[in-house]
Amino acid sequence: MEELCDTPRSAPVISRTRGFTGAVWDIDSDVIDLGDDERVTRDYVRHTGAVAVMAMNERREVYLVKQYRHAVRAECWEPPAGLLDMPGEDPLEAARRELWEEADLTASQWDLLIDAYTSPGGSTEAIRIFLARDLVEVPEAERFSREAEEAQMEGAWVPLDELMAAVLEGRVHGPTTVIGAFSLSEALRSDGATLRPAQSDWNRPPARDAQNSETA
């Protein structure tokens, strides 16, 4: 058996219709050629991609923020995270920014925990989750001024064991939180063997800022 690995492939796009253009993402409908005269239509969200940060202190506590997510009608506990909505932005620098903005923290040690597609059947969203350690609180005068919905976010340090229990008992549901918790738990169990360099290559699907790259 060959190495277990997702294989990049882009089926020819016969036509594309933009059904919706939004502030954050768009919805496209593609007619694609699967070969052998098989043509199908696929609707999907064209997303910018995102990063998230599992910030862990020396007590093995993880910093989480509680944010209202209207689509699921719930306030969800999640790691600091943000969109890659600036063309060409380096994912690690975006993660540093989000940690500063949402958690009032900086970190001197960064590792890559995991890459994931959040919903590959209907979205181009890929997320890269980092592990941040050697944390320092940002001085009050240098903190980011959170506005709108971010101003209402609640933050808390949560022991990793308690986070894992909440995930397994179905009390927290966000994919970033679930994937981040499991990957961090495995990284600690393996004494860091599963960690990768923070600037590792990333096979991201076409993002929103590359929306014309596949048109026929």
What tens digit of pLDDT does each residue of 91-128 get? 999 999 999 999 999 999 999 999 999 999 999 999 99
| 3-state SS, residue 181 | helix
For the entire predicted model, the pTM comes to 0.92
Please list the alpha-helical segments (H only) found in 38-143. 91-103
pLDDT tier, 215 (very low <50, low <70, confident <90, very high otherwise): very low
Over residues 15-27, mean pLDDT: 93
Higher pLDDT, 209 or 43: 43
Please list the alpha-helical segments (H only) found in 78-171. 91-103, 160-168
pLDDT tier, 210 (very low <50, low <70, confident <90, very high otherwise): very low
Contact 185, 164 (CB under 8 A): yes
User: For residue 214, is pLDDT > 60?
Assistant: no
Residues of the chain above pLDDT 90, percent = 78
Q: Which domains does the chain have, with CATH numbers?
A: 13-46 (no CATH), 50-197 (3.90.79.10)
Cα dist from 174 to 49, 53, 71, 118, 121, whole Å: 16, 14, 12, 10, 17
Catalytic amino acids? 150
Question: 140-180 pLDDT, tens per residue?
Answer: 888 878 777 776 789 999 999 999 999 999 999 999 999 99
Give the span between the Cα atoms of 107 and 73, in whole angstroms: 32
